[in-house]
């Protein structure tokens, strides 16, 4: 299932250790990601056998935001949400808090609410990585997207692997011994394959970041002294609509554009009133529709260095 990637092999052993220890968190949740018959379910079944079915909860990402669901985590060692649907995560704050071992409010049905601190490892799997309203560094720092790229389609079914081999006591004892006695680690290893998936997810989850990379910078606007906000919001809106976002929110796009530019370039930017240089008209307005407006002083992203 690691497709001969030694970094992923190491990560799988680290995941096993994290999954069996509900008293410590390394501040990550895992998403097992990949299409079809690739070993996700088999690895999850192995973890369930190792931990014990009664010690597993099964919340999916969006369910962490629902009022009474956190009660199901009480007393569990690991949470495994299999085949998580492609649901938008409007407010993943409780999932983030649980991932980092912070205290959350648990609200059981028919009983008084109480505070609890969970340190169980959360694992989700599916063909989708859920998009969310949180686009902060804190959100991306907690996500660990683990690729399952193996393809077992066309191969003869081997149900004995999942039903017998991975339930064998000797196999489970060996895996437990190897996981516990692996080289100690404070943070999960970050394989290249995992880093690449996170970068892709950041762009898919944040259309403004994607637009800055693939429109704003590819047009060379990041090197211009002045880019009016009305120009950038119009192109951003069209870009987002082309991605299938029906009503993109472009409020505050100037400030967010600056935030991304200062992470992606060595330049410094600020928002202020400024006039576009005449020699930059063609780059910003190639069809000449906005020349009169460009000649005025506009609220703009300005390069200061």
pLDDT beyond 70 at 244 = yes
Q: How confident is the model at residue 163 (pLDDT cuts 50, 70, 90)?
A: confident
d(CA 134, CA 25): 21
d(CA 8, CA 296): 55
Fold entry, domain 6-193: Rossmann fold (3.40.50)
What local confidence, expressed as pLDDT, does residue 38 receive? 84
pLDDT beyond 90 at 90 = no
Bridge partners, residue 33, by sequence: 126, 147
Q: What is the mean pLDDT of the chain?
A: 92
Per the CB < 8 A criterion, the answer to whether 174 and 166 are in contact is no
Bridge partners, residue 96, by sequence: none
d(CA 299, CA 226): 9
pTM for this structure? 0.83
User: Sign (positive/negative) of CA torsion 11, 14, 20, 24?
Assistant: negative
Please write the tens of the pLDDT for every residue from 47-56: 999 999 999 9
Q: How confident is the model at residue 154 (pLDDT cuts 50, 70, 90)?
A: low
pLDDT beyond 70 at 19 = yes
Domain ranges of the chain: 6-193, 206-303
d(CA 45, CA 102): 28
pLDDT beyond 70 at 253 = yes
pLDDT beyond 70 at 43 = yes
Q: How confident is the model at residue 131 (pLDDT cuts 50, 70, 90)?
A: confident
Q: How confident is the model at residue 158 (pLDDT cuts 50, 70, 90)?
A: confident
pLDDT beyond 90 at 106 = yes
For residue 239, CA distances in Å to 12, 100, 212, 216 come to 38, 35, 10, 11
Please write the tens of the pLDDT for every residue from 53-79: 999 999 999 999 998 999 999 999 999
What local confidence, expressed as pLDDT, does residue 86 receive? 76
Per the CB < 8 A criterion, the answer to whether 305 and 267 are in contact is yes
d(CA 137, CA 72): 28
pLDDT beyond 70 at 98 = yes
Per the CB < 8 A criterion, the answer to whether 67 and 59 are in contact is no
Percent of residues, the chain, with pLDDT higher than 70: 99
What letter does residue 93 receive in the DSSP assignment?
H
């Amino acid at each position: 299932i690691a497709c001969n990637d030694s970094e992923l092999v190491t990560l799988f052993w680290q995941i096993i250790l994290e999954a069996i220890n509900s008293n410590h968190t390394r501040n990550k949740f895992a998403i097992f990601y990949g299409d079809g018959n690739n070993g996700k379910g088999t690895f999850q079944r192995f973890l369930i056998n190792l931990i014990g079915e009664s010690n597993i909860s099964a919340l999916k990402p969006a369910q962490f935001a629902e009022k009474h669901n956190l009660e199901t985590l009480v007393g569990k060692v690991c949470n495994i949400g299999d085949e998580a649907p492609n649901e938008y995560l409007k407010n993943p704050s409780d999932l983030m808090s649980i991932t980092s071992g912070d205290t959350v409010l648990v609200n059981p049905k028919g009983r008084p609410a109480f505070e609890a601190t969970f340190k169980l490892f959360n694992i989700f799997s599916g063909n989708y990585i859920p998009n969310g309203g949180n686009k902060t560094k804190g959100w991306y720092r907690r996500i660990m997207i683990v690729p399952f790229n193996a393809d077992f389609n066309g191969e003869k079914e081997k149900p004995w692997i999942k039903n017998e081999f991975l339930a064998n006591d000797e196999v489970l004892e060996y895996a437990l011994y190897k996981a516990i006695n692996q080289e100690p680690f404070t943070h999960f290893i970050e394989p290249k394959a995992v880093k690449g998936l996170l970068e892709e997810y950041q762009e898919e989850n944040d259309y403004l970041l994607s637009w800055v990379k693939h429109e704003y910078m590819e047009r060379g606007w990041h090197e211009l002294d002045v880019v009016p906000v009305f120009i950038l919001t119009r192109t951003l809106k069209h870009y987002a609509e082309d991605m299938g976002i029906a009503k993109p929110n472009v409020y505050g796009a100037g400030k967010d554009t600056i935030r991304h530019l200062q992470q992606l370039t060595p330049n410094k930017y600020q928002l202020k009133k400024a006039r576009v240089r005449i020699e930059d008209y063609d780059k910003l307005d190639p069809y000449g529709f906005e020349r009169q407006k460009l000649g005025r002083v506009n609220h703009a992203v300005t390069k200061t260095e």
